[in-house]
Amino acid sequence: MIVADPLLDQITAALEPHGLVPRGGFVFGPGETAPGLHHGAAARSVVLAGHFGSSIWPHFTRWRQAHSGQPDPLDAWSKAVLTQVADKLGGQAVFPSDKPYLPFQQWAKRAESLSASPLGLLIHPEYGLWQAFRGALLFDRAIGFPAVPLNNHLCDSCIDKPCLHACPVDAFDGTGFAVDRCRGHLAVPEGALCRDGGCLARLACPVGREHAYTPEQQRFHMAAFASA
């Protein structure tokens, strides 16, 4: 039996004041390409950091009020928090927005046995589409992780696929996302419901609906997407 590494408890304690949690991780295998660390060696382990529901929102909101005018504020907050945590624990923080892009979605699938929904977002068995990964912590040693339970892909048993029929401009077809069509809709008066209330396709998924982001958080994400 593998005993969870004490470092995981330290990571949990360091993330908790920010509304974040460790979202699983793994040890890079022999011959597997791993990101390089600042001192030149390749990382041995990765721990993903993220959140469920709106747990980060009050923490991010307070930070944003103190850092008004900051471009890409959610990414900036994530980098400030996770870099501090990494420095404290002897690791290195990396982020989905950084180039060259790292395979965060593949890491997330591996770390928590998640699968992609028809919208392209990973779906969690409890929180549905209302969860996200804000970054990852790399370490130069092998960490002992608990076994990852295999999750059934909930979308396989979802017959009606309401997420694919809720978008007013049919931006999702189960194989891709018509980004320009969605942004164009958000820019006109007819897009007010999506712009102010959140993505209707995402809201249509029944899994974890009780964990949906707060209206304020949904407006923030829609505005950020529309202006990207």
In this prediction, residue 78 carries a pLDDT of 98
SS3 per-residue string spanning 77-141 = HHHHHHHHHHHHHCCEEECCCCCCCCCHHHHHHHHHCCEECCCCCEEECCCECCEEEEEEEEECC
Sign of the CA dihedral with 202 first, then 208, 209, and 215 last: negative
Whole-angstrom distance, CA of residue 97 vs CA of residue 104: 10
In this prediction, residue 3 carries a pLDDT of 59
Whole-angstrom distance, CA of residue 210 vs CA of residue 80: 29
Do 10 and 89 contact (CB within 8 A), yes or no? yes
In this prediction, residue 149 carries a pLDDT of 83
In this prediction, residue 1 carries a pLDDT of 43
In this prediction, residue 39 carries a pLDDT of 85
Per-residue pLDDT of the chain (228 residues; tens, 9 = 90+): 455 689 999 999 999 999 999 999 999 999 898 999 988 899 999 999 999 999 999 999 999 999 988 889 999 999 999 999 999 999 999 999 999 999 999 999 999 999 999 999 999 999 999 999 999 999 999 999 998 888 788 999 999 999 999 999 999 998 899 999 999 999 999 999 999 999 999 999 999 999 999 999 999 999 999 988
In this prediction, residue 36 carries a pLDDT of 93
Residues in the chain: 228
